[in-house]
Structure 1
Amino acid sequence: MSGKIFMIKENNEFVEMEEKKHARELDFQKLIEEYPDLIPGDQIDSANPRKWLHVGSEVNFPIVGSGNIYLDHLFLDQDGIPTLVEIKRSEDDRLKREVTAQIIEYGANLLLSMDVQLLKERVESHENADITELLGEEGDENEFWQKVDKNLKSEHVRLLVVADEIPQRLQNALEFLNRNMESVEILAVEIKQYTSEGITTVVPRVIGQSIEAQTKKSRVTSSGPKLNNETFFKNLEGPGVPFYEEFFDFIQEKGFKPLFGTKGFSLRIPFEGKEVKILEGYSKIAARRQHLVSYKGDLKGMVNGGDDIAETYVRSMLKIDGFESVGDGFVFRIKENLNEENWNLLKEVLSKLADEIQGNGLKG
């Protein structure tokens, strides 16, 4: 049964407005793109209302394994938290059964395939994306992208299901998940539309929060103390131990620098008083267990001819057995150690990369 709201105009005219469902999902999707504030940032965080930077619509990124995903909308808020939006109309049966699994799958695959450089490139190519408006004149854009990078690495994302009506069974599921997830916030936004004689009123409402969940989210930190060489090796298992032993012997010999975080390290090549980050390595306590993953942001942003160098680097690493393509980079899930031939290839690629960085020099 459709609902009603009432408007009283300045001349005391009483206007009755009836709820009207969105005729097409595409119309609903375009409404969010044109008016992002229909996602009520003050309801998501009343103490610090969320503001939105629209990264893109129908955002295409790969499913790790096979296939592609087309996400309805991708936003970043002022704290650099990626916010994924999937839109459904109430008439869509998937809203009752499948959408929870769908939005979680989207979040998981975005974290596997996206890095900060890809997001930055998407924003730069989006003619209506204004970081200054998001951050204010005093905002620091470099600091903002550092926050985005940190959120991606710590898997701090927000998942939103947007519909013109949220079924009770979906509300129950989202509230349960939101209570029991710390770094991921999963909510629904119900946006009802009311019309009367050429007037349209749109009323958004956030669903899925609780005081318990909000308190838990506010306590999310960097997830523990930083590792060092000793504690990193204590958090390895099986083939990870011999793999990283040889890897660390090699990078020490080359003078490369590991910078440890809470679950792994970033590998950097020192040059001209700066450090060019080229990949990240993780222990078993990372969400995706022990693995190596590419990082190309510094190559592209700091090194002369960095785009070509990064492309060659990834292409060369993918020739090594066990290295897989993810997005436009690579990942190596350490399920077994490399044989001598593949070790030689890995060392050759990284040595050549260092030589190219030094040969081409840094920008500026």
Structure 2
Amino acid sequence: MTLPAEGIFLRSGDGLAVLKQTAYDSEAILQTALAQYPEFIAGPTTTGDDEARLLLIRREMQVPGGQEKQGAFSLDHLFVDAEGVPVLVEVKRSSDTRIRREVVGQMLDYAANAVKYWPLASLQQSLAQTAAERNASPEELIEELHPGVDPDEFWRTVETNLKAGRVRLVFVADKLPEELERIIEFLNEQMNPAEVLGVELQQFTGSQHTVYVPRLVGRTSGAVMTKSGGAASGRQWHYESFFAAAEGRCSPAEVALMRRLVDDVESRGQRINWGRGITPGLSGWYRIDDRPAGVWSINANNESPSTRAYLVLYFADLLPRLGVERIEKAARRLEEIPPLMQKIQDARHSGWKKYPSLYLADVAGDQHKEQVLVDAIGELLAEA
């Protein structure tokens, strides 16, 4: 068999399957692939998050053209990432002549109007439609995207990002023209906190296989430097920086509870994993059955008065390690904290496949509730 000079060579048993680059039959096929598999465009961003995940809000998302012009434009896809950043996606095949310059003006038009006029209720309603089509609830989809986050807090973060212009604009094509690549790189180096990226998504097919190969455009060293100095960039938190930030946005009682939980981890000879993100975060790792495991995490949230610090318990992650009995034992203690009762019941109903969360303000300063929380963590660590 004569093999082509270019392509993907897939070993299948003792044979070799050859996958050749093929054009998409239609733009709709490429759009459908993105809606089903957003991982194609959820990779590295300018700020370096290489574990990003995306949630599809809606295909053909209506964008207002002004305060009195709701639904004036139609965006190919609207996603949101785990940090509540709206991701606007326009898809074009390379055979479409509009892919060179017209699509850039179109995208900037969408972004400018979305940031100024998009009502949060429109995004929430659109996700509700998408969730219904998947036989799920919006809360379940948000949970999959960001385990443990409170849906109301999540939407407030989305709204905050929109108002601040913290959005990601992504151009997707089977082949990105060089002219468009240069425009993307230029815009991404100049714009902040907004990001502008391109994803070239080539398709390789064979008799039984289809392989998609994405290539990111726009993450230049200049763009990384531009974003790293701005408010949109993530950062590596540590003890001093975390508590300095927490003291500026949380009550003294909340900060004292954070310190108590950090001390609890360290007193057991285990470790704190300091977060890397826009908002100050950390997670408590303990040794369970001779292996380290994340048990809880804390996020001090942003500086907006409408947001609050919260704690997440990783029941879903711990279930395979601990089993139902140990999770149940800790959960019964946590039910003594009224704001956690319903969330514990929901987690129990799901077979402990959820991540119960709690606002620190609902516990901080109450000695009994704080002790219940610490004791419940101890129940998770105690061998049956």
TM-score by length of 1: 0.57
1:190-229 alignment to 2 at 5 Å?
Answer: 190-221=200-231
The residue correspondences of 1:206-355 to structure 2 (distance < 5 A) are: 206-221=216-231
Distance, in Å, in 2 between the alignment partners of 1:44 and 1:197 is: 37
- Going from structure 1 to structure 2, the CA distance change for 1:45 and 1:182 (only over 3 Å counts) comes to closer
Amino acid at match of 1:118: S
Rounded Cα–Cα distance in structure 1 between residues aligned with 2:203 and 2:5: 10
Label 1:24 to 1:204 Cα distance change in 2 as closer, same or farther (>3 A). same
**8 Å CA contact retained: 1:83, 1:160:** yes
Counterpart in 2 of 1:134? 145
- Taking structure 1 as reference, are residues 14 and 44 closer, same or farther at Cα in structure 2, changes over 3 Å only? farther
Q: Partner amino acid for 1:144?
A: F
Pair 78,198 (structure 1): closer, same or farther in 2 beyond 3 Å: same
> By how many angstroms is 1:112 displaced?
2.3
Alignment match, 1:68: 72
Deviations 1:277-319 (A, max 9, x none): xxxxxxxxxxxxxxxxxxxxxxxxxxxxxxxxxxxxxxxxxxx
Structure 1 counterpart of 2:261: none
Moved more, 122-131 or 90-99: 122-131
Give the AA of the match of 1:82. P
Corresponding residue SS for 1:4 = coil
Give the number of equivalent residue pairs. 226
Bigger shift: 173-182 or 123-132? 123-132
Tell me, yes or no, if the aligned pair for 2:84 and 2:154 is still in contact at 8 Å: yes
Following superposition, the deviation at residue 203 of structure 1 comes to: 0.6
Q: What is residue 153 of structure 1 aligned with on the other side?
A: 163
Q: Is the 8 A contact 1:40 1:205 kept in 2?
A: no
**Residues 1:83 and 2:118 aligned together:** no
Residue 12 of structure 1, CA deviation: 4.0
In the other structure, the counterpart of 1:34 is: 36
Indicate if the aligned counterparts of 1:58 and 1:71 stay in contact, CA closer than 8 A.
yes
Change over 3 Å in CA distance of 1:3–1:58 after alignment to 2: farther
Q: Flag the structure with higher helix content.
A: 2
Q: Does 1:21 align with 2:31?
A: no
Q: Which residue of the partner structure matches residue 166 of structure 1?
A: 176
1:118 positional shift = 2.3
**Alignment partners' CA distance in 2, 1:124 and 1:149:** 17
* Contact 2:166 2:232 (C-alpha < 8 Å) held by counterparts: no
Alignment deviations for residues 135-171 of structure 1 (CA, whole Å, 9 cap, x no partner): 11x2232221221111011111110110000011100
CA contact (8 A) 2:43 2:49 kept: no
Of 185, 188, 191, which residue of structure 1 is paired with 2:198?
Answer: 188
RMSD, aligned CA: 2.8
Check conservation: 1:115, 1:152, Cα contact below 8 A: no
Residues of 2 paired with 1:169 and 1:188: CA distance?
12
Aligned to 1:125: 129
Aligned partner of residue 125 in structure 1, secondary structure: helix
TM-score computed with the length of structure 2 as normaliser: 0.54
Superposition pairs of residues 94-113 of structure 1, within 5 angstroms:
94-113=98-117
Q: In the aligned structure 2, how far is the partner of 1:215 from the partner of 1:172?
A: 18
Deviation readout 1:53-81 (Å, 9 max, x if unpaired): 11000111221276710110000101111
Identity of aligned residues (%): 33
Structure 2: give runs of 5+ residues left out of the alignment. 234-302, 306-384
1:49 to 36, 48, 51: 51
Q: Which residue of 2 aligns with 1:226?
A: none
Kept in 2: contact 1:80–1:144 (CA 8 A): yes
Q: Is the 8 A contact 1:59 1:70 kept in 2?
A: yes
CA distance in 2 between counterparts of 1:45 and 1:201 reads: 27
Give the C-alpha shift of residue 117 in structure 1: 2.7
Unaligned runs of 5+ in 1: 224-261, 267-364
For 1:42 and 1:170, the matched residues in 2 are separated by 19
What is the rounded CA distance, in whole Å, between the counterparts of 1:211 and 1:57 in structure 2?
A: 32
Cα offset for 1:32? 0.7
Q: Secondary structure at the match of 1:215?
A: helix
Deviation at 1:20, TM superposition (A): 0.6
1:19 to 1:73, Cα distance in 2 relative to 1, 3 A: same
Conserved 8 A contact 2:172-2:201: yes
